Structure 1
Amino acid sequence: MAAVMDYLFQRSLDDLVKGLRSQAAASGESRYVAKALEEIRKEIKATDPHIKAAAVHKLAYLNALHGVDMAWAAFQVVEVMSMPKFSHKKIGYLAASQSFTDSTDVLLLITNLLKKDLSSKNEFEAGMALECLSRIATPDLVRDLTQDVLTMLGSSKLYIRKKATLVLFKVFSKHPESIRVAFKRLVEKLDDRDSQVVAACVSVLHELARQDPQPYLLLAPELYRLLVESTNNWLLIKLVKLFALLMPLEPRLAKKIAEPLCEQMRRTSAKSLVLECIRTITVGLLDNTEVVELAAGKLQEILAASHGGDGEDDDPNLKYLGLQAVLDLLPVYPQLVTQSKSVIISCLNDVDPSVQMASLRLIVSMVSDSNLADTVQILMRYALSAEKIFCNELLSSILSTCSRSFYELVTDFSWYVGVLGELVRVPNFEQGKEVERQLVDIGLRVESVRKDLSRLARDFLIDSSTWENSHIHRVLAAAAWIAGEYVELAGDLFEIVEALLQPRMKKLPPSVQAVFLQAVLKILVHFASAAATAVDAEVVDKFEYEEIKSNGNVADEEQAQEPLGRMVTLIRENAGSLQSHVDTEVQERASNLFGLISFIEDEAGSGEMLAGIREAFAKDLGPVSQFSQQRVVVPDGLELLDDLSELKIVLGDDQLQDTELLPESSLLFTHKKEEDTAFVDESAGLLEQHRKKNEKYYLPKETRQEEGLLGAEAPQAQPAAADDNYKLAEELLVWNKPKRPKARSVVVKVTDEENDFVSVPMTSKGALKNSVLSTAIRDVLLNNKSGSHRDGSLPESSNAAQKHHHHHRRRHRREKHPAEGGDLTAVPQEGLDSEKQQDQGEQQQQDQEKQRSKRQHHRKRAKSPLKFAPRAAVVPDFLL
């Protein structure tokens, strides 16, 4: 009675789902799940099969949708699997397929249960057992149940034969030794009377061939017959995929299936089959012009239909596969891009991210120096209104395409510098690191564009609205470096210094602040040297110096020092606090800057000294190969240690321990406790003396907390206007018209070639397993016997071997024990001649037996319908 009441008041799976949907907040949902788990733990221990099965069902649902662990209920799942009622058994098999792993202990308990259900008269129970085996198969389970699966291959029921055929893939994967018993049974299913079983067999062969397709060349005749005769689209798709794996191994096979592929594309209305045929054509038939033109025409029809506006053909899968096929056909049929470029461009605005990325890859692959500007314009236009992730994919594609092979596609670097400036102002910009690298790299390599870079750097530094985005900080560092490195092109130096030392600069990362201070240092050196020696007339005129003497001295020294004094004052007011910055690098750069200011004030009349300092920054920097360090010649007499253990030779065993025995936190040198204490006391005393002597160079003990990254006074950046019109005119992309507004600038490259280091991959465990599996399949298809040699030759017959061995033993005995009455010379000559003739006759008989056995072996191999031979004789009747 109690069990009946529990069953009546037990919450079903429908009640659980409705309760979860009623929980609006995430916290309420988690509490509801926890409460449901408590109920399940109680219900799953019940003896009533209905209550136990319902509890397992709810637990499986929570495991699938909410990730609830159900390993603790493995035994109860086995109990439900063994229930006689089909509805309960189905729940148990579902839970087992979902939760059992190779480490589940109760797997040992279900072997007999699976055997029983595999032989059940109810085909659906047998089907459940097969499906469960395919999901939880282990080597032990497969070894014990392989014979039962093979028995089911001969079942009269289609449902059973199809599932038994499919489960063979998991059987072979988990237990390769079963191939020698079961693979022939699988190949026999290619002749099954039902197309669904044949399709299942081809699917298994395709999955196996993906690991190593070589052995399956022997099945090419049978597969070709199915390709020509079958009308099942699913079977045809699998066959075409399988031939795509086999064609690279046998060139004649590609010529053989060219006509069937074309025939399938002409007569079928299934776009998925057409796309698969096109993909197979791109694998091995790109040299066949007629086939490629047919594939291109079909592909153009599919792309046009997928963008026709009707919801029936608007399939994102077909769009993606179509774009991928266009990318594969592009090398041999580039006019296809011109015919479908409007469709390809419109896919950049597709709702499916995969279609967007496929379209982007295709557009990037079509870029040349003649259409680079138009392509960048289109990508920038879509980036303004794209989502954050795809927007940065667009920007990254622009940067990588334009910088490819040392900017080989860029003919106008002034234009490209402007493009970099526009990229930074895109609202979702996150490519600061790459833009920084390219700005510096272009400055080093292209001398003619440095003036444009200086103007762009000035705009970045003055426009503080661009400083809001943290990803632009790296770009600001590049702008500061350009302003300091090419200071003679910077323009108004007061304006640049004010921009570099504005209050917002202190909110930047320390690494960027250090670059800013170094730029100020270079500008100050340039300005002070020009003011003292008047060697730079442009700078002097810019700050309205009154008169320049004929010998290079300024007429009125006080007036000449006035602009310099104003710059020094500007630096003192804005950068003085940075001398006590928490970051050591910023401290050092600020100290160097103020040290130079002190020198200028003390040696104001020494123009030669300032000119010498300016000369230190005068040499142009150039690009350096990343492998330059490896090309440095080792000086004579310098011995380099390849291993730290060799330091023992220099330091001795008592001073150096084996580094492998030391933890990461251990010191290289070991000392006794007394020596450590003395060393620490002495170091502390020296440190205190140094602090007293150089107190002004130490940080104050009071530490202040840094403010936020950006101040409240920061102006908000204005988002760029997005263009809603995505119907771009086709004339935006002129794929073949050359556009060279002016001669390409000289790009400096590293003189030495960079080495390519190729690492040899190690053989993985999975590769070894696949090798064993392929070897077993090859042996089965070749009908190799265990006694045959690996080269295919048979061993010598036992009779011939025994006669040969007996002959040698007889001759050895005759030589070792001569005839009685004297030595060998006493034997009659007639006896020797007769014995010699007998030996020659036996030798000829042995040779004849060897030749006969070889001829029999070759005839046997020639009669075999499945034989593995060199390429010229794989399937002669099929390919000739």
Structure 2
Amino acid sequence: MATRVKTTTLFRKSLKDLIQGIRSCKDPEAIDVYIRNAISECRQEVLNQDMDVKSNAIMKLAYLTMLGYDMSWASFNVVEVMSSPKFAQKRIGYLAAMQSFGADTDVLMLTTNMLKKDLASANHLDVALAISGIANIVSPGLARDLSEDLIKMMNHSKPYVRKKAVLVMYKIFLQFPEALRTSFPRLREKLEDPEVSVVSATVNVICELAKKHPKNYLPLAPPLFNILTSSSNNWMLIKIIKLFASLAPIEPRLKAKLIPPITNIIQTTTALSLLYECINCIVSGGMLAKDDDQLAAMCVSKLRVFFEETDQNLKFVGLLAYNKIVLSHPILVAQNADVIMDCMDDPDLSIRERAVDLVVYLVNPETLFEVVKRLMLQLIAQSRESVLPEQYRVTVVRRILDMCSNNTYANVTNFEWYIAVLVDLVKITEGMKEISQEIGMELQNVAVRVRAVRDYAVSAAARLVTDKDVMLKNPGVLKYAGWVVGEYSLFLENTEPLIQALISTEVSLVSSDTLAVYIQALPKVYSHYAGDERIPWTGFRTQEILLLTQNICTFLEKHSTSMDVEVQERAVEFLELFRVVVEAIKERPTDDSVISAPLLISQAIPSMFTLWDLNPVSAKAQKKVPIPDGLDLDEEFNNPVYYSESEDEEEVLLRQQVLKQQELMSAKSINASAVKSSVVKSRAKKASKDAVASSESEDEEEKEERERRKRERRRRQQDDPFYLLESDKFTSKSRKKKSKATSDSDESDSDDDDPMKNEELDIDSIPIMKLEIASVAAPVDSKKSKKKKSAPAHVEIAREETFGDEDDEATRADGKAVDSEVLARKALRAATAQSKGPGILRVNARGLEELDLATPDDDEAGRLEVEKFKADILQARKLAEKAAEEAVAATHITVKKRKKAKVVKKVKKSSKKKEEEAQTVTPASSTVVADTAPAEPATEKESEKEPAVEPVAEPIPPATTEEDEKKEE
């Protein structure tokens, strides 16, 4: 037997042998065969009773797990190695468990007692090893069972264990959020731990928790502030500053406390990471107001250091900070426009994108042309190697549109230049369908708003419609260009090629929406061309117009049977109109005499489209239209009629008559029961209840019948393309409000044990430090005199029409109005954007987001109510004490001759009337009097016989002793 053990030990492979064997294999097939043989050997070794052999096999399997091989079949053997008393073997077991165990591992329930035993071990290394294992294999069940043990470990004598216990609590909170309530006091104590590493771990956990629900951790502001002002650990300071950045928006009083120490750090620190976090805390925490020019100037000047470094990451975070500061202080950021413009040509695309986002807020009428030129040069590929990614090109085009259309074209002084830019963007962005609609929308917006350049916009749109390359490579812009040429066809110069382009459109290249717009624009352009008074109407003109009209009819006939509803409807309507036009043209003579054009062409058709001029309408104008009085949008206009395929009209009428007769019979039965109620009241109640029950049962049957018919009707109409089925999109607002109100009423508030119910938010205890900002930057004078330049020509831009006097437009953070077209373009971007799923390493902390440690007493209304209640109790107590003092003064106390004094209460003799008056005392006052009565002892018999009543003003009889009382008994 001993020889067999020695042989097994001698020839078994160690982890080193396994790795050498894998590296010695020549090809992947040999590696796969070798590893499979090694796994089969491990299967035999884990069954060995020798723990050394078993732990060696588990260690090899753990290594193979990192190569992608499964070892879930050895989960029970891993637990066996974890339970080994030797630390070296136990460490191998925990390592294998960390790599192979998951939430669905069956043997996790077997590890609970073993983990409890390791946590209670006298060896701190075993405790630390168990904590590390729990952090990787914790499940909701393990978190619930081990939370109390881990809370105890937070007070361990070894700082190494305390640090690990604090860190593992975050994993416990993710799986079992309720553990946060019981462990919060202990977690707060660790902020004052003498060991710096424990404090750092605690700050890290609290910072991660505050990302989900920062309001819970406002009471920790004073100890965190002490750490902020006393610690020199940059890593810990970064975490605390991030935490205060999330707490400052919730508690405005923190601004006055935090600005001095954070400003001191900004002026003294040399760590750029800490400098950025301080500036980000001031900006993101809402501490930088519009009037804080000195603080903003200091932040902007410090951020310039980031662009002088060679590290690209520093440039990126510097641009991020500038993007936040520019919303409140654009003038200060504009002073660093040189470094921002340099970043627009940086080889790193992420830096380019941030610079392009920032330059939108810095452009003005003087710099707009240069910035747009530099951005458009980036879109033009000089060579195959210089082609930028499509996503970046889309971003650049969108920023060009944003900076030009910002604040209703406040920066554009030459709209002919802007229209030329839009046309160039259409050609540059060929193949980028995502951005073509936004360019077309902007061209349409300029044509509608700016009347001075409407003719130039119409000619540009006509060139786009007649360009076949645009239809092939960028067809999304044609929908808006077709609308422009149709709506403003009076500005067209050469109309016949445009009509030929409209009727020769290939259906496979354009969308149905574009085709519907083309059909709508066709009669408008036709009326302008055929009814032109400058061209004499001769026989040749008659034949020319007749041929063109017949071609239009052929085009419309082809689309009159389209599957798209909009295309089919418009084609059918205008087809009938053009057929009438053909008959009117045929009636005209074909000789060379000059005649007038048919009135249908010259007057009737133009009057259909040119009677009113279209103006831009605000997106929120419809919401301001008041609903007429007496109009209920939820009320049905007609009673619904229900029928099924199996019933004809006669059966439906017969069924309705039967239902009416049943209603009349039920009403008669109720009246009969009411007559009988005058004779026997009890019988009438029973009969009425039966009648109501029968009517309710009939109503239920009728409802079921209606639902059945409704389902049959929906099933029958489901395949009908001309019937719009009812959906949630058309649910009225009032119904949504009712359903929301009922759902809110069903929710019940739960009063759980709150570890912070006795905590008070003592922000005032934080001292206010004196703020002295060094003159790191020269003061900025925004009112400097500028060189006088010739003012550009004034261009009138049409404003949006809305209902009422007030303009309810959306506003930006800087107070400037945002055009509804910009909002529409952003909505279009959001609709076309692809939804991204969660990242691989994203932690699911939804339980912590819903966990609220705050109590109702924290609200201002709750505080006022509690204070009022306390005042009422205090006033009632004072009245009770006063009444008790009067009662003591009215009583007679005698002392016995023995050693112990006893109080003998007087025997009161009063009338029944006075007893009734004494009993009219309110329960609250009697209770308070009883609680505040003198503390003299009394006998049990006297306390049982005599109730506590107020004294009455009458002669007091002489007191009696105990002997006299016994005689009387």
Category of TM-score, reference length = shorter chain: 0.5 to 0.7
Measured in 2, the distance between the counterparts of 1:333 and 1:504 equals 52
Match for residue 615 of structure 1 among 597, 603, 607? 607
1:647-796 alignment, distance < 5 Å: 647=640, 666-668=712-714, 741-752=792-803, 766=847, 769-772=850-853, 774=854
User: Does 1:415 find its partner at 2:414?
Assistant: no
Greater shift after overlay, 258-267 or 613-622?
258-267
Percent identity of paired positions between Structure 1 and Structure 2: 29
TM norm structure 2: 0.61
Give the residue type in structure 2 aligned to 1:484.
G
- Cα-to-partner distance string for 1:240-295 (whole Å, 9 max, x where unaligned): 22333444455554344434323323333211011111122323255655544333
Measured in 2, the distance between the counterparts of 1:602 and 1:136 equals 85
Q: Structure 1 pair 323/121, CA: closer, same or farther in 2 (3 Å)?
A: farther
Give the residue type in structure 1 aligned to 2:599.
E
Contact 1:413 1:449 in 2 (8 A): yes
Q: Structure 1 pair 82/396, CA: closer, same or farther in 2 (3 Å)?
A: farther
Match for residue 311 of structure 2 among 308, 311, 314? 314
User: Does 1:323 find its partner at 2:374?
Assistant: no
- Cα-to-partner distance string for 1:29-49 (whole Å, 9 max, x where unaligned): xx9999989996996685253
Alpha-carbon offset, residue 512 of structure 1: 2.4
Contact 1:258 1:285 in 2 (8 A): no
Task: Please name the residue that 2:540 is paired with.
Answer: 559
Alpha-carbon offset, residue 451 of structure 1: 0.9
User: Does 1:342 find its partner at 2:338?
Assistant: yes
Q: Structure 1 pair 822/76, CA: closer, same or farther in 2 (3 Å)?
A: closer
Match for residue 439 of structure 1 among 429, 437, 443? 443
Contact 1:213 1:245 in 2 (8 A): yes
Contact 1:179 1:776 in 2 (8 A): no
Alpha-carbon offset, residue 616 of structure 1: 0.8
Task: Please name the residue that 1:861 is paired with.
Answer: none
Measured in 1, the distance between the counterparts of 2:488 and 2:39 equals 74
Match for residue 599 of structure 1 among 580, 585, 601? 580
Alpha-carbon offset, residue 750 of structure 1: 1.9
Measured in 1, the distance between the counterparts of 2:629 and 2:252 equals 57
Measured in 1, the distance between the counterparts of 2:709 and 2:122 equals 65
Q: Structure 1 pair 826/256, CA: closer, same or farther in 2 (3 Å)?
A: closer
Q: Structure 1 pair 367/113, CA: closer, same or farther in 2 (3 Å)?
A: farther
Q: Structure 1 pair 355/86, CA: closer, same or farther in 2 (3 Å)?
A: farther
Measured in 2, the distance between the counterparts of 1:362 and 1:848 equals 78
Task: Please name the residue that 1:760 is paired with.
Answer: none
Alpha-carbon offset, residue 171 of structure 1: 3.7
Contact 1:446 1:748 in 2 (8 A): no
1:549-588 alignment, distance < 5 Å: 554=537, 557-565=538-546, 567-568=548-549, 571=552, 578=559, 585-586=566-567
Contact 2:546 2:582 in 1 (8 A): no
TM norm structure 1: 0.67
Contact 2:620 2:802 in 1 (8 A): no
Measured in 2, the distance between the counterparts of 1:126 and 1:790 equals 52
Measured in 1, the distance between the counterparts of 2:496 and 2:103 equals 72
Measured in 2, the distance between the counterparts of 1:662 and 1:826 equals 72
- Find the residue that maps to 2:428 and give its secondary structure: coil
- Cα-to-partner distance string for 1:374-433 (whole Å, 9 max, x where unaligned): 433333333445311111122223334444454455444333322221221224633122
Contact 1:371 1:735 in 2 (8 A): no
Q: Structure 1 pair 38/325, CA: closer, same or farther in 2 (3 Å)?
A: farther
Measured in 2, the distance between the counterparts of 1:646 and 1:663 equals 15
Contact 1:177 1:776 in 2 (8 A): no
Task: Please name the residue that 2:60 is paired with.
Answer: 54
Q: Structure 1 pair 291/457, CA: closer, same or farther in 2 (3 Å)?
A: closer
Give the residue type in structure 2 aligned to 1:381.
L
Greater shift after overlay, 641-650 or 248-257?
641-650
Measured in 2, the distance between the counterparts of 1:110 and 1:663 equals 59
Measured in 1, the distance between the counterparts of 2:332 and 2:498 equals 52
Contact 1:190 1:198 in 2 (8 A): yes
- Find the residue that maps to 2:521 and give its secondary structure: helix
Contact 1:627 1:754 in 2 (8 A): no
Match for residue 515 of structure 1 among 508, 514, 517? 517
Measured in 2, the distance between the counterparts of 1:175 and 1:350 equals 47
Task: Please name the residue that 2:128 is paired with.
Answer: 127
Contact 1:304 1:343 in 2 (8 A): no
1:69-468 alignment, distance < 5 Å: 75=76, 78-79=79-80, 81-82=82-83, 93=94, 96-97=97-98, 104-120=105-121, 125-172=126-173, 174-175=175-176, 178-179=179-180, 181-214=182-215, 216-248=217-249, 253-282=254-283, 283=285, 284=287, 286=289, 289-305=293-309, 313-316=310-313, 318-331=314-327, 333-350=329-346, 354-384=350-380, 385-404=387-406, 406-427=408-429, 429=432, 430-468=434-472
User: Does 1:483 find its partner at 2:485?
Assistant: yes
Greater shift after overlay, 493-502 or 406-415?
406-415
Greater shift after overlay, 394-403 or 418-427?
394-403
Contact 2:307 2:318 in 1 (8 A): yes
Greater shift after overlay, 451-460 or 382-391?
382-391
Give the residue type in structure 1 aligned to 2:525.
I
- Cα-to-partner distance string for 1:139-187 (whole Å, 9 max, x where unaligned): 5423432343244334454432221122233345555554565434333
Give the residue type in structure 2 aligned to 1:667.
R
Alpha-carbon offset, residue 84 of structure 1: 6.1
Alpha-carbon offset, residue 482 of structure 1: 1.8
Contact 1:56 1:77 in 2 (8 A): no
Contact 1:789 1:795 in 2 (8 A): no
Alpha-carbon offset, residue 83 of structure 1: 5.5
Measured in 2, the distance between the counterparts of 1:664 and 1:397 equals 52
- Cα-to-partner distance string for 1:694-732 (whole Å, 9 max, x where unaligned): xxxxxxxxxxxxxxxxxxxxxxxxxxxxxxxxxxxxxxx
Task: Please name the residue that 2:673 is paired with.
Answer: none
Q: Structure 1 pair 345/42, CA: closer, same or farther in 2 (3 Å)?
A: farther
Measured in 1, the distance between the counterparts of 2:561 and 2:25 equals 58
Q: Structure 1 pair 735/207, CA: closer, same or farther in 2 (3 Å)?
A: farther
Q: Structure 1 pair 218/629, CA: closer, same or farther in 2 (3 Å)?
A: closer
Contact 1:406 1:749 in 2 (8 A): no
Measured in 2, the distance between the counterparts of 1:572 and 1:38 equals 80
Q: Structure 1 pair 73/789, CA: closer, same or farther in 2 (3 Å)?
A: farther
Greater shift after overlay, 457-466 or 599-608?
599-608
For structure 2, list consecutive stretches of 5 or more residues without a partner in the other structure. 49-53, 381-386, 589-596, 644-651, 660-701, 721-783, 811-844, 860-865, 889-906, 919-924, 936-969
Measured in 2, the distance between the counterparts of 1:767 and 1:123 equals 30
Give the residue type in structure 2 aligned to 1:230.
S
Give the residue type in structure 2 aligned to 1:623.
P
Measured in 2, the distance between the counterparts of 1:218 and 1:778 equals 11
Greater shift after overlay, 228-237 or 428-437?
428-437
Give the residue type in structure 2 aligned to 1:144.
D
- Cα-to-partner distance string for 1:413-465 (whole Å, 9 max, x where unaligned): 33332222122122463312222333333333333332122111122123222
Measured in 1, the distance between the counterparts of 2:68 and 2:870 equals 57
Contact 1:206 1:241 in 2 (8 A): yes
Measured in 2, the distance between the counterparts of 1:432 and 1:666 equals 45
Q: Structure 1 pair 736/231, CA: closer, same or farther in 2 (3 Å)?
A: farther
Q: Structure 1 pair 190/406, CA: closer, same or farther in 2 (3 Å)?
A: same
- Find the residue that maps to 2:270 and give its secondary structure: coil
